[in-house]
Structures are given as C-alpha cells and as structure tokens.
Amino acid sequence: MSPYKRLKRDLVHKGRIIDYYNDTIEINGEKTTIFDFINHKGASAMVPVDEMGNIIMVRQYRNAIDSYTLEIPAGGLNPGEDNETCAIRECEEETGFKPGEVHHLIDVFTTIAFSNEKICIYYTTGITPTRQNLDEDEFVTTAHYSPEELTKMILKGEITDAKTVAAILAYRAKVGR
C-alpha cells in the first residue's frame, strides 16, 4: 500500500502542449504537501535509417534551453492519432523522408519527477524522399550520421536530448550497428 494519496488536482494553467497542475498529496495519512504535475498529451519519435545505414537527424532551436539541438524527429500526438502514425507523420514533416517499414523500439518517460510525458520511439528503414512540411514556427535542418558517430557525440555530451540518447543507444543494442 502506497503512503501517498492524491486528494485533489487543481489546474493552474492550460497550455497548448501541456497543462500544469498543483496536486495535493497526503503522505502516510498524516500530512499533506503540494506536488507540481505537468500533463502531456503524448508524443512519438522516429529513428529514420537511410540506405547507407545512417540516421537522419534534425537540428532545431529549443526555447527551454535557448539553444539548438541535434535530435531524432519527434512531435506531439494529434487528437485521435495513434503513436505509430504520429511518428511516421513527424518523420516525414521534419526530415522530408517517408518511412518504409516501421518497428517499435522503446518507450521513454522523459521527466517522471513532475510529468507524465511518454514518447513512443520507432525506427524505420526503406525511406523514400518526399519534402519537409514544417509548422510555421519550425526551422529544421537535417543531416545524416552513422550510429557510431552519434554514439560518440552522446558520450562527449554533444547530444543531450533524452529521447535521442535513449533511441540511439536502444537502436544500436537492438539492431547491432
């Protein structure tokens, strides 16, 4: 039996991507405290592998860290959309390559201390070029890297995005590249 019991959840702010709440939590039936909670609509990501075995990465600006990052393509679920469909859509929109055969790789909860954001990650081979179809506030460039290059970049601290780190390492462990 857990010593924690949620007594109430109060919406503090409803956002475009997340909703922020204060949760009143009772501990051991004795005292209460307030926990921050961020509700996320869910997201998916793709490890797109080209015909040479290289992974197509996206470079984009991230406001939360005021910097550009190198990541796998990813994005939030649209209403009624399943995770695999989201990953396929985001891959094509951000990279300009349509996924071929899609395989589930790993699921990651990004920040379990205060958020329920879960990213379902897939990988794909047999990609075909289409065109980027970016949102009006997105400016994304792409580059192809070998799995070995990406692993070195992770270990040097050049790639720090959690979903990307998990995806690249899981891809190498699962596929053996």
The reported pLDDT for the residue numbered 176 is 75
Residues 60, 146, single domain; the answer is yes
Residues 55, 85, single domain; the answer is yes
The reported pLDDT for the residue numbered 94 is 95
Mean pLDDT of 85-111: 97
Residues 109, 24, single domain; the answer is no
Task: Identify which of 10, 14, 105, 84 has the alpha carbon closest to the alpha carbon of residue 42.
Answer: 84
The reported pLDDT for the residue numbered 138 is 79
**pLDDT tier, 134 (very low <50, low <70, confident <90, very high otherwise):** confident
**pLDDT, tens digit, for every residue of 153-166?**
999 999 999 999 99
Asked if residue 163 lies in contact with residue 117, where contact means CB atoms within 8 angstroms, the answer is no
Rounded Cα distance, 32 and 26, in Å: 4
Residues 34, 105, single domain; the answer is no
Residues 13, 77, single domain; the answer is no
Residues 98, 169, single domain; the answer is yes
Query: Phi/psi at 58 (nearest 5 deg)?
Result: -115, 140
- Domain range for 104 is 41-175
Amino acid, res. 66:
D
Amino acid, res. 112:
I
Residues 47, 108, single domain; the answer is yes
Residues 73, 60, single domain; the answer is yes
CATH number assigned to the domain comprising residue 128: 3.90.79.10
**pLDDT tier, 132 (very low <50, low <70, confident <90, very high otherwise):** confident
Residues 35, 62, single domain; the answer is no
Residues 32, 46, single domain; the answer is no
Residues 32, 94, single domain; the answer is no
Mean pLDDT of 87-112: 96
Helix (H, G, I), strand (E, B) or coil at 173: helix
The reported pLDDT for the residue numbered 31 is 97
Amino acid, res. 25:
I
Mean pLDDT of 17-32: 96
Q: What is the DSSP string of 144-157?
A: EE-HHHHHHHHHTT
**pLDDT tier, 135 (very low <50, low <70, confident <90, very high otherwise):** confident
Residues 11, 95, single domain; the answer is no
Would the CA dihedral through 6, 37, 45, 88 be positive or negative?
positive
Q: Which residue has the tokens 């047999």?
A: 126
The reported pLDDT for the residue numbered 9 is 98
| Domains contained in the chain, number | 2
Average pLDDT, the chain: 95
